[in-house]
């Protein structure tokens, strides 16, 4: 059963029909986040946009990059959505939004404000919470590469881990079918053709047997798109405990995905060492960039090493504020006091205004770091280097203004109205 919230988010962010979407493009993740912030400020939920007169609900919408008419036009695609939902449901496809409990926490924690609003899937949703090692590689492979992949997945299966990969022909497909044939489990993250891929003979049996779940942030009927493929690649890394590159060229999706992971330090990157390094240049180049050679025989505990968390690198909140002053398009008003204000107000009023602006900046920053997840006081303190007294004051104020919900036993917080 698709919730009304999910329907509203689908209407605003997903492609449904070539004819309808040609004139009115669905919202990007950045644009959707803008709508989410407005909904939160208005104490509304996405499903409220489906009730009554949408023009009236949007009466306080202040147009920036997203026009009111565009929102209205996207919401007017209800008939197209109904037809798609009927078709997708018959194919066994389920849909979750980023506020649902089943939505993988690792995506929320890592991508922050770049989280895909919707995930489409087919198969057992319980498999989303299993432990995976990512396996990626080239589409163009030799018998040696196939044998290397089989050896790797056999060791993973023996140690109780599943495989996460992208479902493309070549290394991806061999890693997925290889561990499934050993009675292991797989999470396939697809960039296109979710519905078609789920009906393939090589996968259908394992979906029915609850050994395989296929996942995609894109329309289940979408064709191949390079941008979508790159977006898919990052999810493979983020949903894994570590990722192994079996074969890589020095260009293409495998190469770009591995370099993006090295840059962001999402998970440890391991590189399979080929018999002839000269024939697989990408592998040795990735090791030079920070990847590590995968031992022929490995223990999971040795290849899973906690990468530097993006949250650990947040630094001081006030340092972040100082950096933001140099950005042209920041979401928070400039937290500085003009000379005119200094003349008009006394020192007490100045301090009050500045505190309010810092508080707003504080809320903006934790909204990016703790996207739809519970957090404790210590989590914020570590992320932003704030003293305990200041943090207590701001958390109390955030609860009073209903920006944050406080929970007890143990004391923890959650941003209100995250969608």
Query: Is 216 exposed, middle or buried (CB count within 10 Å of its CB: 0-12, 13-18, 19+)?
Result: buried
Residue 140 and residue 223 in one domain: yes
Average pLDDT over residues 23-47: 93
* SS3 category, 166: coil
Residue 291 and residue 165 in one domain: yes
Q: Measure the CA–CA gap between 176 and 215, rounded to whole angstroms.
A: 14
Report the percentage of the chain scoring pLDDT > 70. Answer: 85
pLDDT band at 351 (very low <50, low <70, confident <90, very high): low
pTM over 0.85: no
pLDDT of residue 337: 40
pLDDT of residue 385: 63
Among 56, 90, 124, identify where a domain stops.
90
Give the CATH number for residue 359: 1.10.10
Tokens at 129, concatenated: 């919470």
Average pLDDT over residues 339-358: 56
132-137 and 118-123 as β-strands: parallel, antiparallel, unpaired? Answer: unpaired
Residue 140 and residue 56 in one domain: no
Average pLDDT of the chain?
85
pLDDT at 221 over 90: yes
Residue 293 and residue 327 in one domain: no
Query: For the segment 284-330, what is each residue's pLDDT rounded down to a tens digit?
Result: 999 999 999 999 999 999 899 744 443 344 445 554 544 544 444 43
Q: Is residue 243 part of a domain?
A: yes
Residue 68 and residue 122 in one domain: no
CB-based contacts of 87, cutoff 8 Å, min separation 6: none
Residue 233 and residue 174 in one domain: yes
Residue 174 and residue 288 in one domain: yes
Q: Is residue 104 part of a domain?
A: no
Residue 46 and residue 86 in one domain: yes
pLDDT of residue 325: 45
Residue 44 and residue 113 in one domain: no
pLDDT of residue 334: 35
pLDDT of residue 78: 94
pLDDT band at 214 (very low <50, low <70, confident <90, very high): very high
Domain count, the chain: 3
Contacts of range 202-207, beta carbons closer than 8 Å, 24 or more positions apart: 202/173, 202/177, 203/176, 206/180, 207/92, 207/122, 207/123
Query: For the segment 235-287, what is each residue's pLDDT rounded down to a tens digit?
Result: 999 999 999 999 999 999 999 999 999 999 999 999 999 877 777 889 999 99
Could you tell me the residue range of the domain that residue 211 belongs to?
109-303
Q: Is residue 99 part of a domain?
A: no
Among 244, 279, 303, identify where a domain stops.
303
Residue 178 and residue 230 in one domain: yes
pLDDT at 162 over 80: yes
Choice among 146-160, 325-339, 381-395 with the minimum mean pLDDT: 325-339
Among 44, 60, 90, identify where a domain stops.
90
pLDDT at 34 over 70: yes
Residue 71 and residue 180 in one domain: no
Residue 223 and residue 161 in one domain: yes
Give the CATH number for residue 267: 3.40.50.450
């Amino acid at each position: 059963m698709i919730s009304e919230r999910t329907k509203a988010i689908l209407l605003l962010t997903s492609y449904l029909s070539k004819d309808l979407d040609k004139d009115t493009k669905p919202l990007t993740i950045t644009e959707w986040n803008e709508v989410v912030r407005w909904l939160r400020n208005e104490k509304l939920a996405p499903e409220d946009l489906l009730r009554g007169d949408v023009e009236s609900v949007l009466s306080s919408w202040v147009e920036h990059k997203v026009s009111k008419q565009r929102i209205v036009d996207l919401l007017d695609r209800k008939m197209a959505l109904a037809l798609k939902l009927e078709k997708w449901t018959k194919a066994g496809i389920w849909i979750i939004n980023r506020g649902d409990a089943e939505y993988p926490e690792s995506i929320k924690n890592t991508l922050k404000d770049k989280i895909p609003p919707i995930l489409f899937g087919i198969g057992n949703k319980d498999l989303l919470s299993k432990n995976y090692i990512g396996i990626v590689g080239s589409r163009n492979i030799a018998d040696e590469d196939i044998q290397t992949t089989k050896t790797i997945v056999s060791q993973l299966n023996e140690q109780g881990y599943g495989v996460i990969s992208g479902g493309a022909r070549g290394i991806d497909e061999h890693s997925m079918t290889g561990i499934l044939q050993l009675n292991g489990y797989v999470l396939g993250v697809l960039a296109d053709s979710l519905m078609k891929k789920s009906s393939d003979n090589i996968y259908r049996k394992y979906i029915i047997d609850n050994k395989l779940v296929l996942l995609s942030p894109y329309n289940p009927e979408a064709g191949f798109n390079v941008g979508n493929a790159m977006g898919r690649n990052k999810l493979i890394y983020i949903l894994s405990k570590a990722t192994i590159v079996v074969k890589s060229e020095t260009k293409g999706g495998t190469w770009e995905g591995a370099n993006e992971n090295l840059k962001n330090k999402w998970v440890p990157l391991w590189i399979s060492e080929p018999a002839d390094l000269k024939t697989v240049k990408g592998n040795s180049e990735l090791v030079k960039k920070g990847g590590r050679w995968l031992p022929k025989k490995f223990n999971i505990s040795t290849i899973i090493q906690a990468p530097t968390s993006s949250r650990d690198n947040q630094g001081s909140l006030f340092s972040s504020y100082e950096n933001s002053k140099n950005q042209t398009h920041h979401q928070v008003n400039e937290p500085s006091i003009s000379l005119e204000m200094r003349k008009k107000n006394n020192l007490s009023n100045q301090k009050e205004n500045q505190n309010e602006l810092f508080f707003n900046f504080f809320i903006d920053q934790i909204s990016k770091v703790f996207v739809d997840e519970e957090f404790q006081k210590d989590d914020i303190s570590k992320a932003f280097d704030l003293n305990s007294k200041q943090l207590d004051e701001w958390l109390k104020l955030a609860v009073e203004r209903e920006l944050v919900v406080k929970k007890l036993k143990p004391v923890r917080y959650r941003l209100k109205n995250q969608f």
